A and B are shown apart, each in its own frame.
Chain A
Amino acid sequence: MAYSVTTQTPASRIAALLGAILIIVLLVLPFFAGRGTIQDMFFILTMLVLAQFWNLLAGYGGLVSIGQQAFVGMGAYALFGAVILWGLDPVPSILLAGVAALIIAVPTAFFAFRLNGAYFAIGTWVIAEVVRLLVAQWKTLGGGTGTSLPRDATRDMWFVEVIENTLGVRSAAARDILAYWLALTLALATIGGIYWLLRTRRGLALAAVRDNTEAAKSVGVDAGRMKWIVFLTSAFGTGLAGGLIYMQKARISPDAAFSVTDWTAYVIFIVVIGGIGTIEGPIIGVLVFFALQSLLADFGSWYLMTLGVLAIIIMLVAPRGLWGLLSERTGLHLFPIRRRLSGGKLNLSKE
């Protein structure tokens, strides 16, 4: 009798079905939701993308980066550069944003990989600062004060006219809907891509490196190469998200685009609160984060203080986050990556 290796569980099949329904609802959301909801959803989806990539780095790759704002900012500036200097359409320029982030990720990794563990974290931060200071010298893109996307570029953006006519909305709302659909696509591609990566041989190697680098090396995993793959992948994805976020904002400045609070601290809190090292964690985390922000945003610094304290408490009491607590109790995995053996001779023990 042949044996088979599966990762699916009954729960994951139900989750996949519910997920498919959810995706359809999200896709048609602009047909019945207001502009405020669409903007909120855009924020949630883009933060989710950033969180998934930081989680890939820290939770699976063991690379705690505090310099993700380098890739957000670089992606955003690449998009602005492509639109303003080369006259490209903002939508395809998002791809250039990813490529630009990928390009600066190579020297970043080259320097930061020379630092071990905790020092890697501050190393990435220093490099992000260097990129911010260099970009602030770029006078054609506004230098330290920043710049805006030209109005005709945003008005004539791809698909905007189609959305205007189909949904019968104004141009500004159509741009938000376009940004929302792009963010949804990016978020789904990110979750799908990371889930796929973790289920491949590479993903297995990655988990092995995370759990025990030396043991992983001894069975032939090239740990250094895995780190590069993870770092570059997450830089590319973070750059795409950065480009998209600033395409929607249409206004950029170095301090905002390279903000450590907005693009790294929030993202770390989302992942830590939701549950590091799982795909479900960032999804839960971003929802909790959004709820907290809606409740506490008026309190300014109290809000950030609460997030900081909450992250400390979660790290001490439940280091696997909210999702970790839930899945420990129930054994639930919506995105199972654990391989389970069924059938074959191993079942002989029953006889």
Chain B
Amino acid sequence: MIWIDTIIQGILLGGLYALFASGLSLVFGIMRLVNLAHGDLIVMGAYLILVLVSLLGLSPFIAVFIAMPAMFGVGWVLQRYLLNRTLGDDILPPLLVTFGLSIALQNALLEGFSADSQRLPTNALTTASVDVGPITLGVMPLLTFASAVLVIVGLNQLFYRTELGRAFRATSDDATTASLMGIKPANIFATATGIALVIVTIAALYLGLRANFDPNIGPARLIYAFEAVIIGGLGSLWGTLLGGIIIGVAQTLGAAINPEWQILAGHIAFLIVLLVRPRGLFPRAND
């Protein structure tokens, strides 16, 4: 029974990792940009929510709706004025610029908020649980997982049902031809990163509610997000959710055997998938 419980906790944890990963996957899918500062942006989102909560006395669930448009703006400006300038055939500039950004952001947060770990204030809802048969599930993990599913459904709708989504797909396929049709790739890219940071904010909410965070945990979140994307296969959002679940289950199983093996088990699951299916479980993109 305890194993079933562990696996279910792992699946729900996978929802959090899928939230980390969706933004990364979206940005990579549209402009082939790997943002090494992604994890640090999640942590920044968590601090933004924390500031709103402590300054305005809001509930984190309300504060996140103020943080989302702000983070959209950050993403838009970041992409439009910084990252767009690095795009091209050479992979070095985007990697090195986002790596520099990651280090700069991490240390800016360290300077602003110190290295002390923080947590978003919890209330009755965040500690509540429901009994499903013999298994007890936390409301927070369930909410996280449901949010991940909602985000992925929403992104798929956006991609395949809206004009913006069509522009995303067109720009992703061929930016030059898309620009002949009246699309401005620079703005499309900026919008995509803006949306990615909205998802980052949602991820940040659950990160801050479920556990302590400090300025140094960004890179590890980036790594989990990256593993989920690769396991799922580039370009497949449902694959990313599955990737997150695989990492989550591997981590909780590893932790159940020996607490020191939690993180290691997730990485090893990733390496096994990379060994068996180098292009992920549901590969779609060719790159």
Contact = CB atoms under 8 A, between A and B. Distances in A.
Nearest to B226: A122
Contact of A111 (B82, B95, B227, B271): B271
B62 to A, nearest CB: 31
Contact of B93 (A301, A307, A319): A319
Interface stretch (A130-138, A160-168, A199-207, A341-349): A130-138
B222 A315 contact: no
A126 B223 contact: yes
B226 A126 contact: yes
Given A268-B96, A315-B97, A260 B107 contact: no
B219 interface: yes
A315 B96 contact: yes
A136 B99 CA distance: 26
Contacts of A122: 34, 36, 222-223, 226
B33 to A, nearest CB: 8
B264 A307 contact: no
Chain A CB within 10 Å — which of B107, B223, B267 has the most?
Answer: B107
B158 interface: no
Contacts of A134: 264
B25 to A, nearest CB: 12
B91 interface: yes
A305 B230 contact: no
Given A114-B274, A122-B226, A126-B227, A304 B103 contact: yes
B101 A312 contact: yes
Q: Is the interface of B mostly helix, strand, loop or mixed?
A: helix
Interface string A260-281: 1100010011001000100000
B140 to A, nearest CB: 27
A196 interface: no
B111 A111 contact: no
A269 B99 CA distance: 10
Contacts of B227: 126
Interface string B93-114: 1111101111111111011000
A301 B267 contact: no
A48 B94 CA distance: 24
Contacts of B107: 301-302, 304-305, 308
A282 to B, nearest CB: 14
A305 B99 CA distance: 12
Nearest to B99: A268
Contacts of B100: 269, 272, 307-312, 315
Interface in B238-276: 260, 263-264, 267-268, 270-271, 274-275
A129 B219 CA distance: 11
Nearest to A319: B93
Nearest to A121: B95
Interface string B70-96: 000000000000100110000111111
Contacts of A15: none
Given A118-B34, A265-B99, A312-B82, A302 B111 contact: yes
Contact of B34 (A111, A119, A301, A319): A119
Nearest to B103: A308
18 contacts: A66-B36, A117-B287, A118-B34, A118-B94, A119-B230, A126-B271, A129-B263, A133-B260, A269-B100, A302-B111, A304-B104, A305-B103, A305-B111, A307-B100, A308-B100, A309-B104, A310-B100, A311-B103
Given A62-B91, A305-B104, 15 more contacts: A64-B92, A64-B95, A114-B278, A117-B34, A118-B32, A118-B95, A125-B219, A129-B263, A268-B99, A305-B108, A308-B103, A308-B105, A309-B104, A312-B100, A316-B82
Query: What 6 A-B pairs have minimum CB-CB distances, sorted nearest first?
Result: A308-B104, A118-B34, A311-B100, A301-B107, A308-B103, A114-B278
Interface of B: 32-34, 36, 82, 85-86, 91-97, 99-108, 110-111, 219, 222-223, 226-227, 230, 260, 263-264, 267-268, 270-271, 274-275, 278, 287
